[in-house]
Structure 1
């Protein structure tokens, strides 16, 4: 081992060790994610995802791939599922980690406005919510103190926010199931871990791109599985 690696624990630390350190303390100095170990960790999480799916199938005997899933096998849906869905999920659930960059404040605020407006079940309540989001966006862009206060709040509670957003990310995937069953918590639990991993990648890279690419790769594998299953029909 070279001397500079001995003096710098963030270089010598493996991705696995760095990920565990991140879970304990997101503020701790981290190692780069641009190495093979990150792909190895991603592969393990990907395998865990499908093992949870297989275990759910073994318990319930429900098909892993349903006929209704075949609707995704058209160019527009594939493009949306592989690129658009990961982009929206990364921004919605982890965009706050990049709020020190003003463009992400604007993008996340606009995304929130769109979703609130689209959620018709909120009825009249969505308009006050949209007003609050618009006011928050204006303060973040025009008032340095408001922006610093928000960033300080995120920094002080970053670990809680990362775990909370990862749980919310997992719960959002409950809509993939026809009805809630306790056994559905198996794949959902894996989604919590995936949310933590994508948060780790975003923070260590200080960019949305690496996590977006890995998220897109994850969705691409699912599309491939559905396609291979369709060939057997």
Structure 2
């Protein structure tokens, strides 16, 4: 594990929760020391999962070397005045890792299911592979749909290359519809390069882990 001294805050709506719920969380955190939120990132290879994590945790885009799998990283997150540990877990999207990947799923609080906004095949695999995989292993665990590389939507050479294959970038509207159809908590998007929307992805992941939609209760993933 690497650990970051970075202090993060989530949107104000968490801080506006009823006092009773805050008190319960405070008592819970005192009894178990600092609570941990485990966030696992999945998606096709080369969609920018590792860049997403490196850019968020180091505040820099990895311009030279991008490892296949980023080291697990922990940051301290302040939620309603209480410290939490946000544990971030990268995974390899290649088929070679299909048997090993689920070993990182137990005790997951929230998944980020990633696709590249300029890779229609990675978007298709969200429905065909990634959501079926995580819901098979962790049916009660909330997940967000995350569009990456949004800076490339307006890149002329990228758009031209897609057009040659009679394809085009994935629009936010299309992604939002898929998120609803697959029962994701929500759709969020970002650019690891420009950091546009980057912090919001993780803020929303934290909220999804702590405030799963009703009537479901928060459940960590447990492999049977």
Q: Which has the higher contact order (CA 8 A, sep 6+)?
A: 1
Q: State the TM-score, normalizing by the size of structure 2.
A: 0.27
Q: State the TM-score, normalizing by the size of structure 1.
A: 0.26
More strand, by proportion: 2
Kindly name which structure, 1 or 2, has the bigger radius of gyration based on alpha carbons.
1
More helix, by proportion: 1
